[in-house]
A and B are shown apart, each in its own frame.
Chain A
Amino acid sequence: MKKILIVDDEAGFTRLMKLTLERTGGYQVLEINDASKAWLKAREFRPDLVLLDIVMPKIDGGDVAAQIQSDPSLKGVPIVFLTAIVSQKETATGGLIGGFPFISKPVSLDALVQCIEENLAKKAATA
């Protein structure tokens, strides 16, 4: 059972994500709507992967990513941005945002699961 941390200020979205992902039976999900607490929660929860919104109040996804990355206890945890503001071109080329992979909202469950699995596999390969 993989542990997924979802950081997004949109509570309805995180709740549905948690329900849907946990329903697949493959994931244990922790949802966080206050991004300023994301780093602290991450240290407690020790996720296998973080899904991180970019545009949030108080602190944005980029900063959260930097905090997590700089924490030795969270070293190597894959981060995937979930963002609404992506153009067609970036999606099509599968490019990175700030060096991180991303998924464009809205996303189908299949595409989401596929993305999570790919990045977990990538981490396993490098570990």
Chain B
Amino acid sequence: MNAPAPQAYRVLLVEDHPGDARRIKELLEWTGGSTAHPFKLVRWVKRLDEALSFIETEPVDLVLLDLALPDCAGVNAFAQIDAAAPHLAVIVLAELDDEATAFSAVQAGAQEYMIKSELASRPLQRAIRHAIERKKSEHDLEHKNEFLHAMLTTSPDRIYFKDSDSRFLQVNQTLAHWFGMENPADAIGKSDFDFFSPDRAAAKFDDERRIIETGQPILNKIEQEIMWNGSSVWLLTTKMPLRDHKGRIIGTFGTSRDITAIKEMEETLQRERNLLRSVIDNVPDFIQAKDTLGRYILNNQAHTFHLNEKAPSDLLGKTVFDYFPPGMASEYYADDMMVLASGTPIVGKVEPSLSAGGKKLWISTTKVPIFDENEQVMGIATISRDVTAEKLAREESELANANLTRSREDLMKALGELRAVQLELIEAEKMKLVGRLAAGVAHEVKNPLAIIRMGTDYMTRQKFDDPNIPTVVHEIQEAVERADHVVRGLLDFSAPKKLHMALSDLNQVIRHALVLVRGELGSNKFKIIEQFQGDLAKVRLDAMKIEQAFVNIFTNAAHAMENGGTLTIRTFMRQVTGVGENIAGSGSFRPGDTLVVTEVLDTGHGVPDALIGHLFEPFFSTKPTGKGTGLGLTVTKTIVDLHGGTIDIRNRPEGGACVTVTFRADDPL
């Protein structure tokens, strides 16, 4: 079985002499009995321009080039081929007398030269092989050099190679510029001591010593360098041992990348982060953030202390259930989940919490969702403030307010009572004054009366010629009686009042009073109608005093009906129903009270409207002089008042007056 034949080397022959060409073809294609044909003469041309146009289009590995061509001769022919196809291996062929020219072609770049007259098959074939291989490796090396060159001239990173004494073997363009040099070659032979401060240079020198000794590289070291021009840069540096082809360490090489901009950005970020951190740590409010599972991911100092931890990081990954009683924690957690689910913030919710010492607090909490760059909710930010003092203060102020309101009501009540007492005192003072006045009047009036009385008594025991004398004396005595009556009334009115209270039937009291005024109302020109309610509630009263009051009322009625008339007396009960009810100026009746009412109606002349408000004033009388003391109704009202009752006088539409006397029943029905 035959292995596939290796591709034959493709050879172009440039030879103007046909005999030479034929012989070279034979030498070239001779196989020595082998079936393999390693060389193939792809074309034979006689002229250089033919060769140039052929290699332009056809693949060729090697050119056999005669230096004596009709259109070109000598080294120049090689130069033209090399320029057109620099990767092509070339062997020049020369006459024996022209070996010098052939050698200069080799110096110019041809791979080999051969003397035509000395050509033999094997040496030719070996020379062709070597030429092709050598050209190929030269070409490869050239490529590699190009890469290296490209890297060294265009890389923005700093690149260098140093020998075992840390002297620069090569630096790239960037590093040269950084050193302040136009040409990278100027750095060769110099060291870091020429460019850096002595201690920085020494540090680098030590690093490189260690690499050479240990073979260990330094990878991604971040260094700050101050340059010759004073500028500061941050560098990310990698240093490697430099080895020869046998693996021996012969120096170091390395790259540095300028990361100043990144570093500055980092520092800016760091500063911003520190500023934010400082802000949240210095506010007294509790600031925290949680992830979607309710785990703390950020906590400020205040919140950390609130949860009785030392460092904010102690809380990371924990939840409210690690710090609060289950009930409280569940509330917080439910709010968190609500904000997460709805995306709606909770603002200023006042809720209970616990201090680090376990004391109950009130906090005002605001919770807002936080979003990632894709607008997805990634957690909750919470800020809470201790409002215990405010809340307590508000509660205290509300309590104080309520107390104030109550105090005010108490004061108003007390004021009302004081006013009543004051009125009573004024009344008492007035009465004391009236009492003194009455005593003085009594003394001054009664003594003359006593003289008149005694004188008339003396006279009644004498005999007179005039038969009218006894009548005159009698009239005088009547006048004395009347005057005495007035003065007594005055004294009674001002005398200290003391009541003898007992549960009484008002109907009976009134009936008794009617008996007492029989003298006034007994004649048949008067008609008396009694309309008494049978089961009248009992009233607590001084029967003698009330009797006197009604006597006065009935007497007045009789005087008002000089020419006769009808006196109607009505008693009945009624209930005080409402606050708005007009209760004739007395504060002693309250809703729910049962009242016993007496109405005394006469058919007399009534009271002139202008005078009706003065009826109860002392010494005020509507009666002709000599008929009234002016004290009757005053005494009556005083008596009724003393019983907590009311008295009211008004004219009846149909004529006459109506006196209404009202008392509160002792025991409500």
Contact = CB atoms under 8 A, between A and B. Distances in A.
Q: Taking each of A12, A17, A110, which has the highest tally of chain B beta carbons within 10 Å of its own beta carbon?
A: A12
Contact of B452 (A10, A88, A89, A106): A106
B464 interface: no
B432 to A, nearest CB: 15
Contacts of B454: 13, 16-17, 20, 106-107, 109
A33 B253 CA distance: 156
Interface of A: 10, 12-13, 16-17, 19-20, 23, 55, 82, 84-89, 91, 104-110
Contacts of B452: 106
Nearest to A86: B491
Interface string B476-497: 0000100010011101100100
Given A84-B442, A88-B489, A105-B450, 13 more contacts: A16-B451, A16-B455, A17-B454, A84-B487, A85-B439, A86-B491, A88-B491, A89-B492, A91-B488, A105-B449, A106-B451, A108-B457, A109-B457
B447 A13 contact: yes
B450 A106 contact: yes
Nearest to B449: A106
A88 B455 contact: no
A88 B458 contact: no
A17 to B, nearest CB: 6
Interface of B: 439, 442-443, 445-447, 449-455, 457-458, 461, 480, 484, 487-489, 491-492, 495
A54 B15 CA distance: 191
A20 B491 CA distance: 29
B451 A88 contact: no
B457 A105 contact: no
A88 B450 contact: no
Given A16-B454, A19-B458, A106 B492 contact: no
A105 to B, nearest CB: 4
A108 B451 contact: no
A108 B450 CA distance: 8
Contacts of A20: 454, 457-458
Contact of B453 (A19, A86, A89, A106): A106
22 contacts: A12-B451, A13-B454, A19-B458, A20-B454, A20-B458, A23-B458, A84-B445, A84-B447, A85-B446, A85-B491, A87-B495, A88-B489, A88-B492, A89-B492, A89-B495, A104-B446, A106-B452, A106-B480, A107-B454, A108-B457, A109-B454, A109-B458
A69 to B, nearest CB: 24
B492 A84 contact: no
Point out which of B443, B452, B454, B455 has the most chain A C-beta atoms below 10 A from its C-beta.
B454
A107 B453 CA distance: 7
Contacts of B447: 10, 13, 84, 105
B470 to A, nearest CB: 15
A87 to B, nearest CB: 4
> Shortest 4 CB-CB distances between A and B: which pairs?
A84-B446, A106-B453, A105-B450, A109-B457
Contacts of B484: 106
B492 A13 contact: no
B446 A106 contact: yes
A55 B443 contact: yes
B450 A85 contact: no
Given A13-B451, A20-B458, A84 B443 contact: yes
Contacts of A88: 488-489, 491-492
A89 to B, nearest CB: 7
B453 A108 contact: yes
Task: Name, among B445, B457, B492, the residue most crowded by chain A CB atoms within 10 Å (CB to CB).
Answer: B457
Contacts of B487: 84
Contacts of A82: 450
A107 to B, nearest CB: 7
A109 B457 CA distance: 6
A29 to B, nearest CB: 12
Contact of A10 (B442, B445, B451, B495): B451
B451 A23 contact: no
B100 to A, nearest CB: 183
Contacts of A23: 458, 461
B640 to A, nearest CB: 19
Contact of B450 (A13, A19, A55): A13
Nearest to A104: B446
A69 B329 CA distance: 101
A87 B491 CA distance: 5
Contacts of B443: 55, 84-85
A91 B484 CA distance: 13
A19 to B, nearest CB: 6
Contacts of A16: 451, 454-455, 458
Contacts of B491: 85-88
A87 B488 contact: yes
Contacts of A89: 492, 495
A51 to B, nearest CB: 11
Contacts of B495: 87, 89
B477 to A, nearest CB: 8
Contacts of B449: 105-106
B548 to A, nearest CB: 10
Contacts of A91: 488
A84, A86, A91, A110: most-surrounded residue (chain B CB, <10 A): A84
Contacts of B453: 106-108
A91 to B, nearest CB: 8
Nearest to A24: B461
Nearest to A11: B451
Nearest to A16: B454
Contacts of A104: 446
A6 B454 CA distance: 14
Nearest to A109: B457
A123 B68 CA distance: 206
B450 A84 contact: yes
B279 to A, nearest CB: 95
Contacts of B480: 106
Contacts of A105: 446-447, 449-450
A112 to B, nearest CB: 8
Nearest to B483: A106
A85 B492 CA distance: 10
Contacts of B455: 16
Contacts of A55: 443
A16 B449 CA distance: 12
A55 B447 CA distance: 11
Contacts of A108: 453, 457
A7 B223 CA distance: 139
Between A55, A82, A91, A110, the greatest number of chain B beta carbons within 10 A of the residue's beta carbon is seen for A55
A109 B477 CA distance: 12
Contacts of B450: 10, 13, 82, 84, 105-107
B496 to A, nearest CB: 10
A16 B447 CA distance: 12
Identify the interface centre among A19, A104, A110: most chain B CB within 10 Å of its CB.
A104
A105 B446 CA distance: 6
A10 B443 CA distance: 11
A93 to B, nearest CB: 12
